């Protein structure tokens, strides 16, 4: 062992001295070692590691084998040999046909621009899912007893089997109608919650694949699965629709076992399974869960349990062609919170404050008598008197009930429900509640945390915290509007406005590519896009549940933003027909290129002062807004067509966008360059979407600035104007005013919420008013990420991190911070496919220090504030003497530098010559 460590130390020293390039972070379909993929040409990515500046890839070689221990030519299923290319991201597999359920191993090496060849990477793998419906040997099973149709308790299923040979590997493929939790020999299969996830179940039902080799033992084994109502048949939305996708829960389970002797066997759901009900007596996404520990089937997850009094199962036939492999990240148990405070309210309610508005559940340890019923209710806020406040939940109870068995200390937590809360109220609790007996757990999709931002202003740092926690709570199974009331739906408008911020904070590609497939699946025959995805509502003949500007445009805006952010053209290929259908739908509803038909949300929740609707309200004409988004979607479709080399479509939709803008100019702009709506949102959309000729834009930005001044330097925008407001101001030379808006601390502003003690983003600018009273209980969420879209401006403008759209996915990087607002420092980073990009700056007197980190195989344009390059040093030396830095441009205010990979520390004098 000592010799091994000595060898590693010598190797590390050798690499350091000789500056060898290495390959790391191998990804297949954006995942490390994925199990159960059904894409026949999966995409592979890797990053380079080198301590030598300016390192880039010039060639690569990939080998794929069906044997982990051998990459002998005879066992290779594909080899690229040496390919001269700088591509290290989204490289497609082009080898022999991949076989269902089979595991493949791969590694890569690269050559760089300094003539060095890397060692082979560590070996990674992917395993195929069940790529054809015929691969499913399992049968759908349902309970074979009469169900309590009122409470709908969770059914449980079990099956025993015996292993007599040595196992090489075992893979479980599972899905359900409803939600499932599976276990083998008492140990949970996987660590995710709410599987198989929410999708458009009747069109796209996902299944998960698990490596369960370690759970299976020689001899007798037992499989147990519990089902919950979830979104499949439980109430969804404020209307409370039930049985949207079906009335009966069902299970599809297939265990594939490979033995060391090369043979296989299968354990599948079929007529031999048993079923009954257990301790979960009711389960509901919105209302909560009731668990009666007295009803628990003790030992049912173990081999040898006596199930002779259980019922059989009914075998059913369903269309397995809609089954798709699950790629998106699933919800998992994340941060835990102990009580910040345990107290009594003025109403003598026992409450626990966890200090953070989060989404998940509470775990309780308790002892008591058999039959004792403990009720845990959940709330986001307390009222101004300090009492527990749940009016804003509307019909959602958010309440878990635990009935004790009465045999010492018992631990409870729910299975098929979640709550949005900071506070819990506990009823029927006997004795003193101790902090060690109660824990809150956050649940959210297991997305990689990729972005970070902090600065010298602690209020902005808290705002960043609130943005991130709003995202965590609403990125559960689909991107939702809110996680607490009787809604929790995949609103397209909310997802659209927040996507760019969310992509900075978390790696969102798989999560959103899956959601967009549901969007296309639920898109109506005429191309209209529902307000929520998945869509649980029945759309009328007039499409009154779809087709709203800014909401349905998620179908065009998000795919294009994903392409720019991640550089993967496949998202455009997959979504192109959906994008085209949406634009064509608008055109069919338009007259003379004006979108004048249909119903729109407009600039949702824009500023309207009380008792002053006519004079100071910021209501923007909805048709004006619709026209802007019509033009934008047509333009994005044209760009997409060009990117995909669809030349005819590129010309057609480019021409369409131009005609839409002409119609806008004639309909909504006066001869004196006034818009029919004198609002910030009207001006912002006109400028951001380039609706006007360049000659008119100075007048419009002037009117926008004046409007902001008229409101005492405050914003008045709603959901559709807010994401672009500060970007437009910065684009047209008013970053100082954008900072002023960002840093306001009274209503309406971002920091008003922060000063009020918020730990997430609110739905309304004044969800809780200065006097402690609340906004309209019909719509007042305290965890609603839409206004958190300002995070995109903080990353891109304050810190200056941007991709170059001409070479997307951060292959080319632009670092161009804009200073202001009294900030003396900012530091942001982003983990891209190529590695980590960082931009940090700090002002000290009349000097500014900038630290930038550029990953291998990329280049960057860095803008340093200085009148001339001679006033800039890097690591204490003049940049004019550095062979690693190219001075690209000087305009007397900033100096543009061109850099390769590496870490650079610049110091510049901010004095004028």
For the annotated catalytic residues, the residue numbers are 487, 763
Closest-CA residue to 604 (of 502, 713, 494): 494
Closest-CA residue to 754 (of 458, 423, 484): 458
The span from the CA of 69 to the CA of 810, in Å, is 35
The span from the CA of 241 to the CA of 840, in Å, is 50
The span from the CA of 343 to the CA of 322, in Å, is 51
Residues 6+ apart with CB under 8 A from 834: 47, 48, 88, 89, 810, 811, 855, 856, 857, 858
User: Which DSSP state fits 315?
Assistant: E
Residue with tokens 């808006």: 741
Closest-CA residue to 901 (of 828, 837, 817): 837
In sign, the C-alpha dihedral spanning 742, 733, 852, 858 is: positive
The span from the CA of 184 to the CA of 815, in Å, is 51
Closest-CA residue to 604 (of 490, 720, 685, 488): 720
The pair of three-digit structure tokens given for residue 682, joined into one six-digit string: 């009207």
- Whether 337 contacts 415, CB under 8 Å: no
In sign, the C-alpha dihedral spanning 723, 729, 731, 734 is: negative
The span from the CA of 791 to the CA of 502, in Å, is 8
Residues 6+ apart with CB under 8 A from 687: 697, 700, 701, 704, 728, 731, 732
Query: What's the number of CA atoms in the CB half-sphere (13 Å) around residue 396?
Result: 33
The span from the CA of 515 to the CA of 669, in Å, is 37
Q: Which stretches of 372-508 are DSSP H helices?
A: 458-474, 492-505
- Whether 767 contacts 391, CB under 8 Å: no
Strands 399-403 and 451-455: unpaired
Burial class (CB in 10 A: 0-12, 13-18, 19+), 322: middle
Strands 350-366 and 341-344: antiparallel
38-50: b (≥16 Cβ within 10 Å) or e: bbeebbbbbbbbb
Strand boundaries in 285-418, DSSP class E? 288-292, 313-316, 323-325, 331-337, 341-344, 350-366, 373-379, 381-382, 388-389, 399-403, 410-412
Q: Torsion angle of alpha carbons 135, 136, 138, 141, nearest 10°?
A: -170
- Whether 826 contacts 799, CB under 8 Å: yes
Residues 6+ apart with CB under 8 A from 149: none
Bridge partners for 209 per DSSP = 173
Bridge partners for 815 per DSSP = 801, 862
- Whether 705 contacts 730, CB under 8 Å: no
Q: DSSP string covering 733-802, please?
A: T-HHHHHHHHH--SSSSHHHHHHTT-SS--SSTTSB-TTS-BS-TTS--S--GGGGGHHHHIIIIIS-EE
């Amino acid at each position: 062992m000592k010799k091994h460590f000595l060898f590693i130390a010598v190797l590390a020293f050798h690499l350091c001295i000789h500056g060898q390039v290495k390959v790391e972070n191998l990804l297949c379909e954006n995942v490390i070692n994925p199990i159960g993929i059904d894409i026949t040409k999966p995409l592979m990515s890797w990053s380079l590691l080198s301590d030598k500046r300016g390192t880039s890839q010039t060639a690569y070689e990939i080998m794929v084998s069906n044997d982990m221990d051998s990459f002998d030519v005879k066992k290779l299923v594909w080899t690229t040999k040496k390919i001269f290319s700088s591509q290290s991201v989204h490289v497609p597999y082009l080898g022999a046909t991949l076989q269902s359920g089979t595991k493949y191993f791969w590694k890569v090496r690269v050559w760089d621009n300094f003539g060095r060849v890397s060692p082979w990477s560590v070996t990674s793998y992917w395993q195929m899912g069940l790529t054809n419906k015929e691969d499913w040997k399992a049968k759908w099973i349902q309970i074979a007893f009469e169900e309590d149709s009122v409470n709908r308790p969770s059914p449980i299923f079990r099956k025993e089997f015996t292993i007599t040979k040595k196992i090489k590997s075992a893979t479980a493929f599972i899905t359900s109608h409803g939600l499932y939790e599976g276990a083998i020999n008492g140990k949970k299969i996987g660590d995710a919650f709410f599987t198989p996830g929410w999708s458009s179940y009747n069109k796209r039902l996902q299944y998960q694949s698990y490596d369960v080799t370690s759970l299976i033992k020689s001899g007798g084994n037992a499989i147990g699965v519990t089902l919950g109502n979830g979104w499949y048949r439980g109430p969804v939305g404020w209307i409370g629709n039930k049985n949207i996708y079906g009335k009966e829960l069902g299970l599809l389970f297939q265990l594939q076992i490979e033995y060391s002797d090369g043979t296989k066997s299968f354990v599948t759901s079929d007529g031999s399974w048993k079923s009954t009900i257990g301790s979960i007596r009711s389960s509901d996404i919105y209302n909560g869960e009731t668990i009666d520990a007295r009803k628990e089937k003790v030992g049912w997850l173990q081999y040898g349990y006596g199930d002779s009094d259980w019922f059989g199962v009914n075998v059913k036939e369903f269309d397995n062609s809609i089954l798709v492999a699950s790629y998106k990240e699933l919800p998992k148990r994340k941060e835990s919170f102990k009580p910040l405070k345990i107290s009594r309210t003025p109403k003598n309610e026992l409450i626990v404050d966890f200090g953070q508005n989060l989404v998940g559940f509470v775990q309780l340890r308790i002892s008591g008598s058999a039959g004792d019923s403990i009720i845990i209710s959940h709330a986001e806020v307390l009222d101004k008197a300090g009492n527990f406040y749940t009016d804003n939940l509307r019909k959602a109870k958010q309440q878990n009930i635990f009935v004790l068995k009465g045999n010492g200390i018992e631990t409870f937590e729910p299975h098929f429900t979640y709550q949005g809360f900071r506070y819990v109220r506990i009823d029927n609790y006997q004795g003193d509640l101790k902090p060690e007996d109660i824990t809150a757990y956050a649940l959210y999709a297991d997305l990689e945390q990729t972005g970070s931002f902090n600065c010298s202003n602690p209020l902005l740092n808290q705002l960043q915290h609130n943005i991130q926690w709003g995202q965590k709570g609403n990125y559960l199974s689909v991107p939702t509007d809110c996680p607490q009331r009787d809604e929790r739906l995949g609103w397209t408008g909310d997802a659209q406005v927040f996507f760019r911020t969310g992509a900075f904070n978390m790696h969102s590609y798989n999560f959103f590519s899956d959601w967009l497939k549901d969007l296309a699946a639920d898109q109506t025959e005429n191309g209209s896009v529902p307000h929520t995805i998945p869509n649980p509502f029945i759309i009328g003949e007039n499409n009154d549940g779809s087709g709203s500007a800014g909401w349905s445009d998620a179908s065009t805006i998000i795919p294009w933003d994903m392409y720019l952010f991640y550089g993967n053209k496949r998202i455009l290929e997959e979504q192109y027909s959906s994008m085209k259908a949406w634009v064509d739908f608008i055109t069919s509803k338009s007259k003379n290129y004006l979108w004048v038909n249909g119903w729109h949300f407009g600039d949702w929740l824009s500023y309207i002062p009380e008792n002053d609707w006519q004079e100071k309200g910021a209501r923007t004409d909805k048709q004006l807004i619709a026209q802007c988004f019509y033009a934008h979607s047509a333009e994005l479709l044209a760009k997409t067509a060009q990117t995909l080399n669809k030349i005819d479509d590129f010309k057609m939709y480019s021409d369409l966008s131009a005609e839409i803008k002409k119609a806008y100019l004639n309909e909504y702009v006066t001869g004196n360059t006034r818009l029919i709506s004198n609002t910030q949102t009207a001006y912002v959309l006109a400028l951001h979407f380039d609706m006007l000729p360049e000659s008119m834009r100075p007048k419009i930005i002037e009117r926008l600035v004046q409007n902001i001044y008229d409101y005492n330097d405050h914003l008045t925008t709603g959901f559709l104007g807010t994401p672009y407001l500060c970007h437009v101001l910065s684009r047209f030379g008013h970053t100082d005013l954008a900072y002023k808006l960002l840093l306001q601390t009274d209503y309406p502003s971002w920091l008003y919420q922060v000063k009020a003690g918020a730990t997430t983003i609110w739905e309304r600018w004044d969800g809780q008013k200065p006097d402690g009273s609340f906004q309209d209980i019909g719509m007042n969420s305290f965890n609603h990420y839409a206004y958190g879209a300002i995070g995109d401006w903080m990353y891109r403008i304050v810190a200056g991190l941007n991709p170059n759209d001409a070479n997307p996915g951060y292959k080319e990087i632009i670092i161009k911070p804009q200073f202001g607002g009294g900030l003396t420092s900012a530091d942001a980073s982003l983990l891209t496919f190529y590695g980590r990009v960082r931009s940090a700056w700090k002002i000290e007197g009349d000097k500014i220090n900038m630290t930038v980190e550029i990953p291998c195989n990329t280049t960057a344009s860095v803008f340093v504030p200085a009148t001339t390059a001679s006033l800039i040093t890097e690591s204490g030396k003049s940049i004019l003497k550095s062979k690693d830095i190219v001075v690209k441009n000087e305009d007397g205010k900033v100096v543009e530098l061109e850099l390769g990979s590496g870490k650079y520390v610049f110091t510049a004098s901010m004095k004028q010559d």
